[in-house]
Amino acid sequence: MRAQVAIIGSGPSGLLLGQLLTEAGIDNVILDRVGKDYILGRVRAGVLEEGTVRLLDQAKASERLHAEGLPHDGFSLAFDGRDHRIDLHGLTGGKRVVIYGQTEMTRDLMARREESGAPTIYDAANVQPHGFDGDAPYLTYERDGVSHRIDCDFIAGCDGFHGVSRKSVPEKAVRSFEKVYPFGWLGVLAEVTPVNHELIYANHPRGFALCSMRSMTRSRYYIQCPLDEKVEGWSDDRFWDELRRRLPAHHAEALVTAPSFEKSIAPLRSFVAEPMRLGRLFLVGDAAHIVPPTGAKGLNLAASDVHYLFSALAEHYQDRSNAGLDVYSAHALARVWKAVRFSWWMTTMMHRFPDTNDFDQKIQEAELDYLTHSRAASTALAENYVGLPF
Ligand code: FAD
Ligand code: DHB
């Protein structure tokens, strides 16, 4: 088999890149080591920046997003028993975010891909990129015990943090930057009306809490938990009690509970691999970088990488220019590092760290006070939350 672009990974970055390429007449194949249902069973991000929505428009996969997504003009920062609204719309000259689950975005992109007839190979074992340091890269993989080879012009490594793409590069060709946080997030999904019409990010002496949603009848809630915590130790009742304790009283009283139908713990990490291009292999999304979820940036960063890579590939095939490909890594990383900084800052400001002393605590309180009383500081937060331009 031959394709102009071979994409490893059928997560949001691989599917979005594939759809943009297909729309532009550039043939591509996507391989994933797992199946469609497994991918659609993963509950992850929920906040889309306007830039991400525009890319989904361009990929012609946004019809349901526009019908069912919930535009949000602001969110609350809760601390000291009170709410402080961050007016995203007012502070950014009219920008907003849209609440739409990553699972739904993935489902829409998969449906568009099926309609367009572009090939996807699920349950592909031992996917391996080869020859990307030369002019004739190719992938090998196995399916049902049979070995296959795909020749291509370029390989897009959209295979997440644990994927094979980054690991296939010689160790000394990539520099990694990493910070692991000393806590995780315990998240639940439940069929209940959200406690508030906008998201609440709560800083509390017992730890961080986040009230999010997927729709007006489905809520997504998270609480900070120790890293060694096990999901089995958290009954629904224990989770709801702990969430209530971390919210201002009026929200705690309004919280509607029900049996959860998803419960999981995610570790928090910041990670960047440089460069994001190695010959004819391009790293995209979580394959190249991870942010802690506090700033709602992971999925949106994957989308901005896709924008840079798609534009560069379109320029290569349509204008016979490699200028975009040559600056892909530098352009993507400039935006990545700003989102890494923002996500680290939000995480540091909103969580309780096990080794926090009285001085650190006072600094955190001063930061929240400044942030919610200075228009300049609130504007900087809002500008980053709605997404920096790309
Ligand atoms: P992925 O979604 O990881 O997709 C990679 C794909 O590659 C997968 O389908 C995988 O099966 C496939 N793959 C992996 N290895 C191979 C291989 N060897 N061969 C073939 N295929 C392979 N972001 C937020 O903004 N908010 C959140 O609340 C949030 N929660 C998260 C919770 C968890 C548990 C995780 C892991 C991430 C979370 N994120 C969140 C981050 C966000 O979901 C990611 O940034 C986003 O999924 C990145 O998309 P991606 O396509 O780059 O990678
Ligand atoms: C969600 C996750 C986040 O990390 C965040 O900052 C906001 C919302 C969510 O899953 O809905």
User: What integer pLDDT is reported at residue 6 of this predicted model?
Assistant: 98
Residue 291 CA to residue 283 CA, distance in Å, equals 16
Pocket of ligand 2 (CB under 6 A): 45-47, 199, 210, 212, 220, 293-294, 296
User: What percent of the chain shows pLDDT beyond 70?
Assistant: 100
Prediction ipTM score: 0.96
CB 48 within 8 A of CB 62: no
pLDDT for res 136: 97
Distance between CA atoms of 390 and 378, rounded to whole angstroms?
A: 21
Does the pTM exceed 0.90? yes
CA distance 332 to 160: 16
Instruction: Give the per-residue pLDDT at 118.
Output: 97
pLDDT tens string 259-308: 999 999 999 999 999 999 999 999 999 999 999 999 999 999 999 999 99
Section 339-359 average pLDDT: 96
HSE-CB at 43 with a 13 A cutoff on CA atoms is 20
pLDDT (tens digit per residue) in 86-127: 999 999 999 999 999 999 999 999 999 999 999 999 999 999
Residue pLDDT, tens place only, 3-13: 999 999 999 99
Q: What is the pLDDT of residue 146?
A: 97
Say what the pLDDT of residue 308 is: 98
Instruction: Give the distance (Å) from ligand 1 centre to CA of residue 244.
Output: 30
Q: What is the DSSP string of 295-363?
A: GS-HHHHHHHHHHHHHHHHHHHHHH---HHHHHHHHHHHHHHHHHHHHHHHHHHHHSPPTT--HHHHHH
For ligand 1, mutation pick of 16, 102, 155, 208 (most atoms within 8 Å of CB): 102
What's the average model confidence in pLDDT over 254-262?
96
* Nearest ligand to residue 99 Cα: 2
Q: What pLDDT score does 108 carry? A: 98
* Catalytic machinery residues: 72, 201, 293, 297, 385
Ligand approaching nearest to the C-alpha of 140: 1
Percentage with pLDDT > 90 across the chain: 99
Q: In angstroms, what is the span from residue 278 Cα to ligand 1's centroid?
A: 21
Please, how many CA atoms are within 13 Å of residue 195, restricted to the half-sphere of its CB? 30
Residue-averaged pLDDT of the chain: 97
Determine the pLDDT at residue 380. Answer: 98
User: What band does 151 get if pLDDT is binned at 50, 70 and 90?
Assistant: very high
Would you state the pLDDT for residue 322? 97
- What domains sit in the chain, N to C, each tagged with a CATH number? 2-71+97-178+268-349 (3.50.50.60), 181-267+354-386 (3.30.9.10)
Mean pLDDT value across residues 64-79: 98
- Out of 70, 98, 181, 210, mutate this one to test ligand 2's pocket (max ligand atoms within 8 Å of CB): namely 210
The band of 382, judged by pLDDT with boundaries at 50, 70 and 90, is: very high
- By most ligand atoms within 8 Å of CB, the mutation choice from 199, 203, 221, 223 for ligand 2 is 199
The ligand whose atoms approach the alpha carbon of 42 most closely is 1
- pLDDT for the residue 202: 98
Residue 17 near residue 284, CB atoms below 8 Å: yes
